[in-house]
Amino acid sequence: MINNKTLRIAATVLASFILLICCGVAVISPDWAIRLAAAPSATQMVDEFEAVSGPHPGFRRNHAKGVCVSGHFESNGNAAPFSKAALFKPGSYPVIGRLSIVGGDPAVNDARGNLRSLALLMVADGQVWKTSMNSIPVFPVRTPEVLLKQLQASVPDKATGRPDPSRVQAFREQHPETQGFRDWLTVTPPSSGYDNGTYYSVNAFRFLDEQGQASTVRWSMEPEAMYAPQVHESSGGSDPDRLSFSLAKRLQQAPVRWHLVITFAEPGDPSNDATRLWPTDRRRIDAGVLVITSHQSQVDGPCRDVDFNPLVLPPGIEPSDDPLLMARAAAYAESRNRRLHESRTQ
């Protein structure tokens, strides 16, 4: 029987999809339509993020703790032969960004975050490119359906306030593809600061050149600052906001810089599976330097109302067939819609 909730979910999915099509970031293909019908709705997905971390009105439902940053991207022209995006022509283009840690609690101690993130909104000749990147090059799951299951397995038990270890273990056993994410964390602990981490697109995209020739790519932002692992302090006395504090100190001395590195897939490399790395010998080019010059509070800074929807792409960059991308776009819009209609309580 169709009830009100089902209708609301169906309406949200349809509205998100129509919005993406109207914005020119998606076209309907039978393949996408089948995937969309099978995928959880944005409402379900965001409800589940809330179930894991509790509602924190006014804040992002994931990556809730963060800081706004501003600067520019200095393009060197190296990527222009592969993508007609205006941003790849040599020049300097304005950037609004956000550095954050994963999770839905905006007051969490930075020491608990095992994943850092960098999101960017870049504008060149009126073309907008939004990208949100994580400090681990793979994602734990391949599809939105399995992400929903992972979130369901992570909802804290009412008695203990923590996820039930047996549910978490059962999920891991049913989804061995999550192992790559855990392995990466073991070998590469999170960076000591925001400024010395590498941030990865994780999902694949397609570059289109002026002639319509396509290349499948992933990208990363690689820091000029030397990576050092986060040091775990045994007492609870560490600064809970050490990441934004140390970034502010660094920016007092000099801008913070990362190189935008484009990695090209070869035939057989998966474009629709964010749990799998590509071989390390793939061709890479350095497309230019991201220069961050200032930071602002996320409570009233320029990144506050932005959702860094990964499907807002300029001509010359297109989505791949990765099933996570459409689900991300819809969930970010839903999360933004909720937080902009709430007052903050923290």
Nearest CA among 67, 64, 65 for reference residue 300: 67
CB 298 to ligand HEM: min, Å: 8
Give whichever of 178 and 203 is closer to ligand HEM, judged by the CB atom: 203
> Distances from the Cα of 142 to the Cαs of 45, 139, 150, in angstroms?
15, 7, 11
Residue showing tokens 């809970």: 240
Q: Which residues pair with 133 in a beta bridge?
A: 118
Name the catalytic one among 63, 72, 232, 259: 63
Residue pair 29/70 in contact (Cβ under 8 Å)? The answer is no
Give whichever of 112 and 210 is closer to ligand HEM, judged by the CB atom: 112
Residue positions forming the annotated binding site for heme: 332
Both structure tokens of 298:
């996320």
CB 21 to ligand HEM: min, Å: 19
Residue pair 140/174 in contact (Cβ under 8 Å)? The answer is no
Give whichever of 86 and 133 is closer to ligand HEM, judged by the CB atom: 133
Q: Is 175 a catalytic residue?
A: no
Enter the DSSP assignment of 16.
H
Give whichever of 84 and 295 is closer to ligand HEM, judged by the CB atom: 295
d(CA 333, CA 42): 8
Please return the burial class of 227, using the count of CB atoms within 10 Å of its CB with bins 0-12, 13-18 and 19+. Answer: middle
Residue showing tokens 């775990």: 232
H helix runs in the chain, sequence order: 4-22, 30-38, 42-53, 144-154, 165-174, 179-187, 242-253, 323-340
Give whichever of 66 and 316 is closer to ligand HEM, judged by the CB atom: 66
d(CA 165, CA 154): 9
CB 104 to ligand HEM: min, Å: 9
d(CA 129, CA 332): 15
CB 13 to ligand HEM: min, Å: 13
Which residues bind to ligand HEM, rule: CB under 6 A? 45-46, 49, 60-63, 66, 98, 100, 117, 119, 132-134, 139, 144, 147, 202-203, 274, 307-308, 324, 327-328, 331-332, 335-336, 339
Taken in order 300, 301, 305, 308, the sign of the CA dihedral is: negative
CB 159 to ligand HEM: min, Å: 27
Give whichever of 86 and 290 is closer to ligand HEM, judged by the CB atom: 290
Does residue 103 come out as left (phi exceeding 0), alpha (psi in the -120 to 50 range) or beta? left
d(CA 145, CA 143): 5
Residue showing tokens 């009412």: 158
CB 1 to ligand HEM: min, Å: 28
- Catalytically active residues, by annotation: 63
